[in-house]
Structure 1
C-alpha cells in the first residue's frame, strides 16, 4: 500500500514537472500597435491582411492596426496628442503629408540608423533622402503611389481625339480636354484638374523647392514656374476644360463630372485607382502627367513606417517594420491589392505588379512613371523631410483650389505675395523645430 502511494506521488511529480517545463518553454505573445491616420478602408483592409499573415508566421508577436480619424489638420498637434496619451504605440504609419520632419523634431520616432544594414536599404530604388533628418534615417518607405491621368477611350474615339502619349505636353492636354468638353453631351474634358497646380510649377520651372543657408523654400513664384501656373489658370478660365460655363467655377458647370459614368473624358488621380477603374470603366487608358519645358514630370507620394519613441518593444517593432517594407510575400500581397506600387527592386514583386494589367501598354506607362519616383517623392512635388511640410500643403491647397482653380485670383503680385508669406512662416517653423531637436 505504502509502495503504491509513493509510486503515485512520483508519477504526479513527473506530470507536474512536465507541465511546468511546457509552460516555461512556451513564449508569451507580445502585442504591438501600428498606428495610422489613413482613413481609406481599402488600404486598411490590405494592410490588415498582411498583418494577419505576419501574425501566422510569427505567433510570438501580434500586431494590431489602429486607425484614428484626425480631429485637426496639424501634424504636430496630432503626433503630440498621441505621444502624450496613454495609448500604446509601437509603430507609426506616416502619410506623405505627415513628413517625418515633425515626427523627428518632436522626438516621436526612434532613429533607425543603427539598423541600416538589416533594413536592406540597397533594395529600395525609391530615394531615401525624404526618410532622413539631419542625415540620419528615421523611417522607411511603406506605400508608394504616383499621380496619373486616366482617359476614357470610348469618348476619345467618339470625338476623334488622339490618345495621350508618353511625351505629351500641357498644351496637348489642354487641346484634348477642350475638344472633349461638350455642353450638349454634358461631358467635361478633365476631372480633378486642380491637382495639376502641384505639378505644373516644376514642369515649367525645374524645381518646386530651393534650399539656401536659411532653409527650404517654395520656388513656385519664380518666373518659369509662374508661366506654368498662369498657363493652367487660363486653361480653366478661358478654355473651360473642366466644364465650367463662366470664368469661375461657381458660375455653374456643364455637369457634375464623373469618370466612372462617362461624363469626364480624363481624370487626374492616384495610381491606387488602377484596380477600381478596370472594374467600372473597362475601356480606359493611362497616361503620365504632361511634360513642360523643364525636366520634372510627375508626382509621387510615399507613406512611411517608423518605430514610435513610446514603444516598449522596439526589437519586435523592428521585426514588423522589416517584414512590411521588404519581405517578398508581404510586398506581393500589398502590390496585388492595388494600394501601392513596388518600392523595392524585388523581381517577384514586380511580376505581381505586372499581372495587375490587362494591357501591357498601361503597365509600361505606369512603370515609366514609377521610374521617375527618384525625382519627385514625398508629397505633391515636394522632396523634403523638413518640418512644416504639412502646414505648407494645407496653405497651398487653399491657395490653389479656393483661389486659383476657383477663378478668384490671377497670377499676379497677390499670388507672389501669398507664396512669400507661406515661405516666411515656413522658415520660422523650420528654425523652431531645429532648435527643439537640438
Structure 2
C-alpha cells in the first residue's frame, strides 16, 4: 500500500477503509493480489447491482472491441447508443407507461444532478431549489449546494446559495408531517422560502443513513409540486436500477417525477449517467449543457446487456426475497444485542444497521474487513453500517456475509470471535 500513500492524493477515501490491493472479481466475490477472497456487500457503492464481471456483459464488450466498435463519439449517433435507447424504451419506459426524453450527461451522477437543476431553473425561470436534510447529490458545485452534510462544505466553495434544505420524511420522528410542514412554507408568502424551481429528493437516502420515505409522503410532495408548477426531481443514482426491488425506486409510490437522475449501476461498472426528462421540459438549446464523455459507447453496450435482466419480473422477486432475509437477520441482531440500542431500516436490497454508540459502526466495518467482508458506513456520524450486496448474490453467500456481521458484533463486544453466544438462524424465504 506504500505506493498509494506516496503517489495518490490525500483525498483518497475507500482505499483507507479497504487497505489491500484488489486484482479480480466475480459477482459478489473479490480477490486481492495475495489471493485473499472477500465477500462484497459494498458493490462499488451501489454501482455493481448486477455483480462484478457479468459474463454476458464481458462477452458483449469483447465482441464490440473485436469489431473495432467506436469508443469515443461525443454525442454523435452510434449503433451502440441506438441499441441502448431502443432497449431502454422498450424494456423500462414503455411497460411502465413512462414518457421521457434521455439526456446523456457527463458520465458521473453529480453531472446528471447538475443538468437536472440547471434545466429546472432554465424552464421555470426561478432560482431556488429545495433539497432535504441528510440528502446527498454529489460534490461538484451545483450538486454540492444540495448535499446536506457539513463535512463536504467549506465557505470558500461558495456556500448553498439559492438552496433550502427542508426536513426529510421522519426527520422529527412521527410527530410532524414534514410534507405538510413544507407545503405551509411554500404557500406562505412570508415564510422566507420562495416557490422553488425544483424539489429534489432521494426516495431512500443512501449516504444520509439509509433513511426511507413513505409512499404517502412522496405522493404529498408530488401533489405540492403539481399545485405550484414545481419540477420534481428524483435522484435515483444509488437506489435505482433495481436496488429497491423495482427498477425505479419511486414506483411503489405510484408517482411520476418530472426529471429522474440515473447513473451508477446503469453501466454495470462502466461510467454512464443521464437524466430522464418529461418531453415538455426538454427546452435545451443544442450544446447548452455538454461534456466530452457524454457518449460512453462501451457503457451503452454493457447497459443494453444488463437491461435483459428486466424483461421479466424474476430479478425483482429475487431482490424482495433477499431483502426479507437481510431485514429479518438484522432485526434478530437488534433483538440479540439490546445493550447496543441498534435499529434497522431500508428497502429492497439496501439496508442500514444503525449503531448509535459513537464510533462503533466504523469499528465494526474494520472488523468485518479483517474477516473478509466489505461494507461501508454512512450517516452524518458514520453511525450506520450500510449493506449493498449485488442483487445477483447467491443466497448462500448472502447468508454467509450476514453471519459475518453477527460474528463481528460479537467480537466487538467480547473481543474474540468464539464462542458465538448469539447464533442467529435464518428464515427460509426461498
With the shorter chain as reference, the TM-score category is under 0.3
Which has the higher Rg, Structure 1 or Structure 2? 1
TM-score (norm 2): 0.26
User: Higher helix share goes to which structure?
Assistant: 1
TM-score (norm 1): 0.25
